[in-house]
């Protein structure tokens, strides 16, 4: 009896191992060039679309960079940011924290180009990540090899955006903690905030440093320009009033940001804290001196961010349109 029991136990163990191995083989997770068999032109199509859009609309590259941050930082990289609001659910892109995000229609342009080549194969989550990668190159930043194989989530998570997404007015400790929960260490956080090297900051995000009194921490030589660009203490949120993050090289992702914040020219509170907190200042100074070091840490941090808790295998779906979840659901929904 005992030998038979042992044999049956052995068979069960072998069967379980086989099932586990099959499941792992069926879900390779994120890998380099995930679409090499199913859509070999996918990454080239996305890269070409990003280049074309950048020639027509320079600000698209800023949008792609912001998208990866706003999507992947909120629990996972699953393109939930791109979903429109429904009667029951508010879209993440319509929350206060997403103020200033735009160009979502051009993500659909990229998706349509990919769909013409390979219908129903490439996820919006991968398009979002790869457009960020190629947008970084358009801005003069490094090329970052990124894995693919993400699938799309089916719902927006607007209700937890504040919980997960670091804010420019939070303490540097809170910012470090939120990024740290994703596996991004202090030099990685300092490098990611180097994305403030490009683009612009809307006046509604910084007038509290100008009114009713000017923040004494600001470089007095920089204040007149900020006041000129933001003349109202309560800006019209519908008006396009903003200050360029970097007046010297506003369209280039470079380490000039770090020299600016060391000179107290950072627009946001988090910029000022980054340059003066004892935990982050050494890395700020190092990146101010070396663009190679900035690019190395930036690439590492973007890679970690892009791999934050993705849906893979049979989880989620491949959306037909990036702004809408597919109507037909399977029982294997994401958690």
Same domain as 119, residue 223: no
Same domain as 224, residue 156: no
- Say which of 70, 168, 202, 222 is annotated catalytic: 70
State the virtual CA torsion across 198, 31, 80, 97 in degrees, nearest 10. -30
- 38 labelled ligand-binding: no
Q: Does any domain span residue 312? A: no
Question: Quick one: pLDDT band at residue 22, thresholds 50, 70, 90?
Answer: very low
pLDDT at 23: 44
- 196 labelled ligand-binding: yes
Structure tokens at 184: 């991004």
- Please state, rounded to an integer, the average pLDDT across all residues of the chain: 90
- Residue 276 known to be catalytic: no
- Tens of pLDDT, residue by residue over 208-241, are 999 999 999 999 999 999 999 999 999 887 777 8
> How far is C-alpha 53 from the geometric centre of its chain's CA atoms?
19
Same domain as 154, residue 175: no
CATH number of 45's domain: 1.10.520.10
- 249 labelled ligand-binding: yes
Same domain as 181, residue 145: no
Same domain as 124, residue 218: no
Of the candidates 105, 140, 161, which is a domain's last residue?
Answer: 161
Q: Does any domain span residue 317? A: no
Same domain as 264, residue 200: yes
Indicate if the pLDDT at residue 179 is higher than 60: yes
Question: Quick one: pLDDT band at residue 70, thresholds 50, 70, 90?
Answer: very high
pTM listed for this prediction: 0.89
Cis ω on the peptide bond leading into residue 257 (within 30° of 0)? Answer: no
Q: Which of 140, 148, 206, 156 is nearest to 28 (CA)?
A: 148
135 Cβ contact partners less than 8 Å away, ≥ 6 residues apart = 50, 54, 60, 61, 62, 63, 64, 65
Indicate if the pLDDT at residue 19 is higher than 60: no
- 270 labelled ligand-binding: no
- 92 labelled ligand-binding: yes
> Residues in the chain, how many?
335
Q: Which domain holds residue 203?
A: 165-304
Task: Please tell me the total count of domains within the chain.
Answer: 2
Angstrom distance (rounded) from CA 252 to CA 140 = 6
- Tens of pLDDT, residue by residue over 272-294, are 999 999 999 999 999 999 999 99
Q: Does any domain span residue 310? A: no
Question: Quick one: pLDDT band at residue 2, thresholds 50, 70, 90?
Answer: low
Indicate if the pLDDT at residue 117 is higher than 60: yes
């Amino acid at each position: 009896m005992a030998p038979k029991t042992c044999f049956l136990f052995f068979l069960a163990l072998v069967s379980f191992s086989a099932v586990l191995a099959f499941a792992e083989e069926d879900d390779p997770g994120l890998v380099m060039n995930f679409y090499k068999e199913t859509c070999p032109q996918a990454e080239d199509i996305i890269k070409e679309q990003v280049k074309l859009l950048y020639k027509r609309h320079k600000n698209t590259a800023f949008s792609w960079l912001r998208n990866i941050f706003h999507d992947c930082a909120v629990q996972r990289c699953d393109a939930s940011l791109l979903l429109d609001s429904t009667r029951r659910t508010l879209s993440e892109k319509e929350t206060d924290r997403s103020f200033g995000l735009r160009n979502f229609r051009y993500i659909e342009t990229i998706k349509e180009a990919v769909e013409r080549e390979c219908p129903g194969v490439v996820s919006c989550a991968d398009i979002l990540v790869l457009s960020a990668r190629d947008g970084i190159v358009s801005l003069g930043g490094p090329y970052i090899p990124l894995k693919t194989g993400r699938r799309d989530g089916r719902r927006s998570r607007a209700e937890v955006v504040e919980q997960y997404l670091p804010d420019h007015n939070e303490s540097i400790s809170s910012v470090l903690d939120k990024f740290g929960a994703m596996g991004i260490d202090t030099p990685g956080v300092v490098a990611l905030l180097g994305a403030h090297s490009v683009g612009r900051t809307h006046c509604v995000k910084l007038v509290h440093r100008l009114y009713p009194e000017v923040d004494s921490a600001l470089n007095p030589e920089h204040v007149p320009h900020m006041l000129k660009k933001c003349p109202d203490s309560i800006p019209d949120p519908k008006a396009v009033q903003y200050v360029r993050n970097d007046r010297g090289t506003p369209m280039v992702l470079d380490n000039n940001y770090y020299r600016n914040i060391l000179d107290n020219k950072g627009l946001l509170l988090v910029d000022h804290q980054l340059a003066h907190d004892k935990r982050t200042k050494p890395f700020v100074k190092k990146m101010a001196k070396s663009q190679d070091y900035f690019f190395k840490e930036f690439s590492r941090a973007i890679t970690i961010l892009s791999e934050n808790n993705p849906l893979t295998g049979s989880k989620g779906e491949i959306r037909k349109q990036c702004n809408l979840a597919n109507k037909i659901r399977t029982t294997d929904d994401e958690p």
